[in-house]
A and B are shown apart, each in its own frame.
Chain A
Amino acid sequence: QLQLQESGPGLVNPSETLSLTCTVSGGSISSSDHFWGWIRQPPGKGLEWIGSIYYSGNTYYNPSLKSRVTISVDTSKNQFSLKLSSVTAADTAVYYCARSLAAVFDYWGQGTLVTVSS
């Protein structure tokens, strides 16, 4: 059974960089059929797609965040990562990692709350 697990700091200072890692178990991140993505959800609000990456390193970002986002993949560790720079309180959210097949997210991590505050 495929499992995804987010990890990283739960508190980030304003103007700094948010860094999260998603560890994939029970399957290979090098699957040719799948992309791996990040989605966030501010408290009490809806879902926002941040970006996705293929195992080869090809990335697709939401233009609204593109200038601040970097998604990378480490196939040797079966992990992919998110970096979001220059964060503000508006970036406070639950961050999910997920697997996608044709842009449909079929497996999700449990999510991790990241709060931006000093």
Chain B
Amino acid sequence: DIQMTQSPSTLSASLGDRVTITCRASQSVSNWLAWYQQKRGKAPKLLIYQASSLESGVPSRFSGSGSGTGFTLTISSLQPDDFATYYCQQYNSYPWTFGQGTKVEIK
């Protein structure tokens, strides 16, 4: 299985901050990488697919980059609605696997 490792596990930030979350794969996943946002008690929501493509309806302050084994999710200016947990997911090879999550908290 491909292991996905996110860092940091928890991130404290203020409104308006630029936030970057990293996701590393144990082997290359090309650009077959998605990012999800999950709020407490809710289902995950797709933000980014194919490493850098923004899902329809997702604010443009979210962006993704990377390929191979290293990826980043960036929030350009943190908004109140963005405090949540973020997960990366590889879909290069079965089984699809997720990172352990990064919780973005209010500083």
A residues in contact (CB < 8 Å) with B: 46-49, 60-64, 96, 98, 102-106, 108-111
- CB-CB under 8 A from B1, the residues of chain A are 63-64
Q: Would you list 10 pairs from A and B whose C-beta atoms are within 8 A, ordered by A residue?
A: A46-B87, A46-B100, A46-B101, A49-B96, A60-B94, A61-B95, A64-B1, A103-B32, A104-B46, A105-B34
Q: Which 4 A-B pairs have the closest CB atoms?
A: A103-B91, A108-B43, A62-B95, A47-B98
Q: Give, as a whole number of angstroms, the nearest-CB distance from B49 to chain A.
A: 4
Nearest to B98 among chain A residues (CB) is: A47
**Are B98 and A46 in touch, CB under 8 angstroms?**
yes
Q: Which of B43, B55, B94, B101 contacts A110 (CB 8 A)?
A: B43
- CB-CB under 8 A from B98, the residues of chain A are 46-49
- CB-CB under 8 A from A62, the residues of chain B are 94-95
Nearest to B48 among chain A residues (CB) is: A104
Q: Give, as a whole number of angstroms, the nearest-CB distance from A32 to chain B.
A: 19
Known contacts A46-B101, A106-B55; A64 and B43 CB within 8 A of each other:
no
Q: Give, as a whole number of angstroms, the nearest-CB distance from A27 to chain B.
A: 15
Q: Which of B55, B95, B99, B101 contacts A49 (CB 8 A)?
A: B95
Q: Give, as a whole number of angstroms, the nearest-CB distance from A98 to chain B.
A: 8
> Given the complex of chains A and B, what is the CA–CA distance between A44 and B43 in angstroms?
13
- CB-CB under 8 A from B22, the residues of chain A are none
> Given the complex of chains A and B, what is the CA–CA distance between A116 and B36 in angstroms?
27
**Are A104 and B34 in touch, CB under 8 angstroms?**
yes
**Are A108 and B44 in touch, CB under 8 angstroms?**
yes
**Are B97 and A49 in touch, CB under 8 angstroms?**
yes
Q: Give, as a whole number of angstroms, the nearest-CB distance from B87 to chain A.
A: 6
Residue among A46, A49, A98 with the highest chain B CB neighbour number at 10 A: A46
